Amino acid sequence: DAKTTQPPSMDCAEGRAANLPCNHSTISGNEYVYWYRQIHSQGPQYIIHGLKNNETNEMASLIITEDRKSSTLILPHATLRDTAVYYCIVRVGLQNSGGYQKVTFGTGTKLQVIP
């Protein structure tokens, strides 16, 4: 799996957009970008994933650069409940993984939403 690089911490004012960057310059053509987050004392929670097109769901938007070497997770209106560690993970999709996901977490970005 491709290695990812994320800033260790970020602050965001409540109500503003939180933009979390991730570098994955060694990503392969069949690897997806996944984002998870972990709120304190809970298990990680899936947020979104994408291959090359930008994606949006009810939680966030994922912007992937054209060369796919970096991506940004956008939380459009951050709330205090969005304070968490956000993990960017790059790995192959189901058809190349043997039916299960060997998900390896990096150190992530600790996002602090400030009132």
Partner 1 sequence: DTEVTQTPKHLVMGMTNKKSLKCEQHMGHRAMYWYKQKAKKPPELMFVYSYEKLSINESVPSRFSPECPNSSLLNLHLHALQPEDSALYLCASSQRGTAQGEKLFFGSGTQLSVL
- Interacting residues with partner 1 (CB under 8 A): 32, 34, 36, 38, 41-46, 49, 51, 85, 87, 91-95, 97-108
Least distance to partner 1, CB of residue 9, Å: 12
Q: Which is nearer to partner 1, 36 or 75 (CB)?
A: 36
User: Which amino acid would we find at residue 94?
Assistant: L
Distances (CA, A) of 92 to 65, 96, 102: 18, 6, 9
Distance of closest approach, residue 10 Cβ to partner 1, in angstroms: 17
Nearest of 62, 109, 72 to residue 87 by alpha carbon: 109
Q: Measured between alpha carbons, how far is 47 from 13 in angstroms, rounded to an integer?
A: 20
Rounded-to-integer distance, Cα 33 and Cα 67, Å: 13
Q: Which is nearer to partner 1, 65 or 101 (CB)?
A: 101
Task: Report in angstroms how near the CB of residue 19 gets to partner 1 at its nearest.
Answer: 21
Nearer to partner 1, 66 or 100 (CB): 100
